[in-house]
Amino acid sequence: MATWLRDFKPTRSQPRLWVETIWLVESREPLVITRTIELHPGLNIVWAKESASNEASGLSSAGHGVGKTSLCLLLRYVLGDDAPANATLRAKAAGSFPKGGVAAKVHVDGVVWLVFRPYGLYSHSTAAQCESLDELLQVTVANDFGGYSNALEEFSIGRLAARSLPGTNQPLEWRHLMAWCIREQRTRFDGFYHWREGEGLGFKRSRRDPPLLVASVLGLVDVGLDRLLRDIEAKQKAVEQFKERIPELERAPIFELARAERQLRLRARAEEDEPVFASTVGESVESRVQAAILAMEQDERRWDSSVEQAEDALAAEQVRLHGLTRARELAELEAGIAKSLVDANQADFERLTKLRDKLEGLDGRCDHGNVEFGECQHIQERKSSVNITWHHDARQAKAAAPELAERYVTRKGAYEEAAKAVTDQALRISEKRAELRRLRVRVATSESARAFLKQSWDELQLLHTQRANGGDTTELVEARKRLLEFETELNSLRAAEVAQSAQQSSRVDAIRALTSAVSERLLGAAGHARFVPGHEVRPFEVARGGEAYQVLEVLLGDIVCLLDSVVSEASSHPGFLVHDCPREADMSERLYREFFLAAAEAGDQLGGGGGVPFQFIVTTTSPPPIELQGEGTVVLELEPGVEGSLLFRRELMPTLPGFELE
């Protein structure tokens, strides 16, 4: 019995994840099973044999088109993957089995789940922790597919020190880890981190993020180191931003000087070939600016004089308006008094007469007679000449009516002329005010333009002086200072990362020791392979060239990580691995044989008397070693050209469109 793993002791007796049974369901009602595939912990080989018949055509003699890759896709499907490749297979399967689907018995961290996923696009997936497939399909138990999906996330990503990637904070998902654990044939095993071809896993950084995920899964990144990595990412981003900004700030004074000069030339109407500063002969930007400022100052003085004249004229017009308004009011009262006499309305007459006297200022003493207005003979005669009307008899009142009416018409005409004079004067004042506003706006506009022109010239002079003296702007000095601070902090963080990583040296040494043991078993000698932590392309290196050894690096790395999940509690690897036809990726027959034997021997050594603590499923078209061709390892044999030996026991798409026989 092989003993090359004698120094490594298993920490568990079962894989964290393994699939016990797969059922290809043709119909749920009634329940018809197309095929049942029993799997077990340890090595499981799905062998697609070449046809045993000598009469088989070349098209059907090779072990292709029998269902190897379809089985891998179905494994992905029952484990929660809904990638486009699965949708294509489901569409083909639904054409042959419209009521069918795939079911599986899955062990997730010690809990047994039964899950059914339909081929059709419009049916629902179901899952439950129950004993038999009948219970699940007959809906005698509650559907808990959401709980199943959460269990897959928690047993895998939930174990990691951080559930998101440093630098982008992108959440990690079970599908990211599953892509590593179920390698597809189309990638040809050409790179350790090349997991899917054309599907895309949604990583924001396709080169940096897969290595970070693998490091987290292998237990090489703890909480402290994850925090350091995030701080380094953030600080590195800040350093890069300042490094990009500083050249812009260094060029900014030149651009600003050119912009300021170009704009000033436009304002001063200076030609492109004219110098900036005044010289002994010829025009310059400076001379044109000074001339423009002088011309504006002269215009402003002239406009200021016009403003003063306009203000004086407006004041005179406003005085005249005041007199006209008073005359209009007096004429209005006189017309009212005359109307009251015509109407013989003594009350209106007395009221209006008092208002007129008040308006005329007939209170106090009369300047002409040097007596009180109440004792003035002229005023008394004026009042008595009118008041006598109220004592006339009817015949006398009738005789005086024409005279009073004529007086009313005269007074009314006088009022209308006075009112028109007031309106005309108000219009004249409005025009004067508009003219004054225009003059003031012109003055203010000129002052603003002159101040702006002077400011622009002063700024241009300052920019020329700064450039001549070679001085940096305040913003540039501050940016350089901040860059130096960030670089210092970044170096400190990187030193802390190195120190923190050094504390993980025992973990790295354990993986290196396991790498050495596995590579010595595969290659027959020590020292031909090594583990390189942190490498973004080849974390597991084989000291040979060629495509066969390139594939071997991928297989070696996967086997090491699979076995490491058995012997280390620090690893979060699920202990579950699927390889789809690695032999067809240009791997030599000898290496392929040793690869199978090493996997089987690892199961025997680490399993001991209990269960094997990992599950490794491999599909192949090449015959496995004779020692492994028994029922214990080969779990499914497929054969092209024989319908009963195809995965679905029939071809899902026998002939491509356009090749039908006529």
Segment-wise mean pLDDT, segments of 10 residues, the chain, 662 residues: 89 94 93 95 92 54 76 96 88 92 96 96 91 90 95 94 84 94 88 84 86 92 74 87 86 83 87 83 86 92 92 91 90 87 83 80 54 55 50 60 85 89 92 93 93 91 80 83 89 80 79 94 85 90 75 93 95 96 75 92 84 94 89 90 88 56 39
Please tell me whether residues 138 and 175 are part of one structural domain: yes
Contact criterion met (CB below 8 Å) for 582 and 549: no
Which residue type sits at 102?
V
Cβ contacts of 540 within 8 Å, gap of 6 or more: 192, 515, 529, 530, 531, 532, 553, 554, 556, 557, 560
Q: Would you say residue 74 lies in a domain? A: yes
pLDDT at 633: 93
Please tell me whether residues 36 and 60 are part of one structural domain: yes
Q: Would you say residue 444 lies in a domain? A: yes
Distance CA 567, CA 602 (A): 11
Query: Burial level of 338, CB count in 10 A (0-12/13-18/19+)?
Result: buried
Q: Would you say residue 8 lies in a domain? A: no
Task: Look at the alpha carbons of 168, 170, 174, 176 in this order and tell me if their dihedral is positive or negative.
Answer: negative
Please tell me whether residues 531 and 520 are part of one structural domain: yes
Contact criterion met (CB below 8 Å) for 338 and 411: yes
Please tell me whether residues 463 and 604 are part of one structural domain: no
Backbone angles phi, psi at 619, to 5 degrees: -100, 145
Q: Would you say residue 109 lies in a domain? A: yes
pLDDT at 90: 92
Distance CA 419, CA 576 (A): 107
Please tell me whether residues 453 and 387 are part of one structural domain: yes
pLDDT at 515: 95
pLDDT at 584: 64
DSSP state letters, 288-315 = HHHHHHHHHHHHHHHHHHHHHHHHHHHH
Q: Which two tokens stand for residue 485?
A: 């601070």
- The CATH number assigned to the domain holding 69 equals 3.40.50
pLDDT at 655: 46
**Long-range CB contacts for residues 507-512, cutoff 8 Å, separation at least 24:** 507/218, 507/219, 507/220, 507/568, 507/570, 508/220, 508/533, 510/564, 510/567, 510/568, 511/218, 511/560, 511/564
Contact criterion met (CB below 8 Å) for 256 and 264: no
Please tell me whether residues 414 and 447 are part of one structural domain: yes
Domain range enclosing 115: 17-222+504-645
Q: Would you say residue 478 lies in a domain? A: yes
Please tell me whether residues 409 and 526 are part of one structural domain: no
DSSP state of 179: H
Please tell me whether residues 195 and 262 are part of one structural domain: no
Please tell me whether residues 576 and 606 are part of one structural domain: yes
Distance CA 575, CA 565 (A): 6
Q: Would you say residue 59 lies in a domain? A: yes
Please tell me whether residues 102 and 152 are part of one structural domain: yes
- Tokens 């021997």 locate to 601
Contact criterion met (CB below 8 Å) for 136 and 128: yes
Helix (H, G, I), strand (E, B) or coil at 162: coil
Cβ contacts of 621 within 8 Å, gap of 6 or more: 48, 50, 62, 63, 64, 68, 581, 583, 584
pLDDT at 190: 87
pLDDT at 32: 94
Q: Would you say residue 653 lies in a domain? A: no
- Domains held by the chain: number: 3
Please tell me whether residues 30 and 167 are part of one structural domain: yes
Nearest by Cα to 349 from 406, 388, 311, 313: 388
Element spanning 638, H or E? strand 634-638
Entry pTM? 0.64
Task: Look at the alpha carbons of 544, 546, 552, 557 in this order and tell me if their dihedral is positive or negative.
Answer: positive
- How crowded is the C-beta side of 559, counted as CA atoms within 13 Å? 29
Contact criterion met (CB below 8 Å) for 46 and 621: no
Render the burial of 221-252: b for 16+ CB within 10 Å, e for the rest. bbeebbebbbbbbebbebbeebeebeeebeee
Q: Would you say residue 548 lies in a domain? A: yes
Please tell me whether residues 465 and 353 are part of one structural domain: yes
